[in-house]
Amino acid sequence: MATVIKRRVFDFLAKDYTTTSPHVQILPDAFDAFNIQARPEYEENFIQRWHLSLQGEANPVVSRTTVSQEGATDQLIYRYDWAFGISLIEGFYWDWMGELCEESSLAVHVVLEPIEEAPEAVPISATLSTLHPSRNTKSNWELVWPKIPKTAADMAKTGALAFPFLNYVSSGLTLASNVLESATENQKNWFLYQFLDERLKSPTVEWRINRKVLREYGPLLRGALFLSFYGSTQTTPGAVRLLLRPQVRYCPKDDITFVIPTNALGKDQQICIEVKPQDRKEPPT
């Protein structure tokens, strides 16, 4: 088994980005900045630099669909991590974060595209990770410190109180950083959504992220998707293409118009992992 890591940094020009019909142009490595009309001088267009990465197991083992009489399952879960960062280029500085729509300002997609007849990739869970303390919030330990009990017996419960995902993490799905809760003080930070991608005809997992997350935790985000695979290479020998597709929303007229630069990339330039599941190796009888 091997972990595959795919990364890409690219610059793009977004035209008419506040309308329902934005247009994206991928810029070459050495573009002529003087001949490009974009912010801050030209307010209808902007230039951004994006960083994308995706990593995970390329040859996971399929899980069994059977459940024992005791209710135990023989399920194998694999973690796939993505990173998405936004920055500006010298000469094109503007308040790109302030102009984002406040709600659903970012959408990060991981598309589960089957190639030919492939085993089924089933999402089990997903997270959005941050570093604490943030710019505007206290760390988990600062929040829980007044509640820490003095007796050793109660101390054993402190971890679960401070970190709701502690039991989940200890099960073997080790998280690389703190998990950002979906809501704090009744204000939504982000949520998960699943849908069928119309163009690729593939299941898609979506992180919808509000602008406050960027302001508090910075413009470099990380998330994790946990998958199980079901099927057999005898009947479904194909692969599953995991495609990372972030997007930003500047159009206030609806919540489905996004600037999607990766759609302008060639298929060989997109950030994706071709995952080819393997059958279990049964012990000799």
The CATH number of the domain holding residue 102 is: 2.60.40.740
Question: Which of 188-197 are b and which e, b meaning 16 or more Cβ less than 10 Å from the residue's Cβ?
Answer: bbbebeeeeb
Structure tokens that stand for 169 in this block: 């993490």
- Confidence at residue 255, expressed as pLDDT on a 0 to 100 scale: 87
What residues make up the domain containing 77?
Answer: 3-131+177-275
Closest residue by Cα to residue 78 from 282, 254, 273, 232: 273
Q: Does a structural domain hold residue 145?
A: no
Neighbouring-strand partners of residue 224: 81, 127
Q: Does a structural domain hold residue 90?
A: yes
Q: Are 50 and 10 in contact (CB under 8 A)?
A: yes
Q: Does a structural domain hold residue 264?
A: yes
Give the C-alpha separation, 7 to 241, whole Å: 15
Give the C-alpha separation, 202 to 19, whole Å: 27
Alpha helices in the chain (DSSP H): 140-144, 152-155, 158-162, 166-170, 211-217
Residues of the chain short of pLDDT 70, as ranges, are: 1, 67-73, 138-177, 283-285
The SS3 call for residue 128 is: strand
Q: Does a structural domain hold residue 171?
A: no
- Confidence at residue 54, expressed as pLDDT on a 0 to 100 scale: 98
Q: Does a structural domain hold residue 86?
A: yes
- Confidence at residue 140, expressed as pLDDT on a 0 to 100 scale: 58
Count of structural domains within the chain: 1
Closest residue by Cα to residue 245 from 210, 272, 211, 268: 272
Distance of CA 156 to the CA centre of its chain: 32
Beta strand residue intervals within 60-150, DSSP E: 78-87, 106-115, 120-130
Q: Are 219 and 105 in contact (CB under 8 A)?
A: no
Q: Which amino acid is at 48?
A: Q
Question: Which of 57-86 are b and which e, b meaning 16 or more Cβ less than 10 Å from the residue's Cβ?
Answer: bbebebbeeeeeeeeeeeebbbbbbbbbbb
- Confidence at residue 122, expressed as pLDDT on a 0 to 100 scale: 96
Q: Does a structural domain hold residue 149?
A: no
Residues 6 or more apart whose CB falls under 8 angstroms from that of 219 comprise 85, 86, 87, 97
Residues 6 or more apart whose CB falls under 8 angstroms from that of 103 comprise 188, 210, 211, 255
Question: Which of 93-123 are b and which e, b meaning 16 or more Cβ less than 10 Å from the residue's Cβ?
Answer: ebebeebbbeebbbbbbbbbbbeeebbbbeb
Q: Does a structural domain hold residue 151?
A: no
Q: Are 211 and 97 in contact (CB under 8 A)?
A: yes
Q: Are 3 and 57 in contact (CB under 8 A)?
A: yes
- Confidence at residue 170, expressed as pLDDT on a 0 to 100 scale: 42
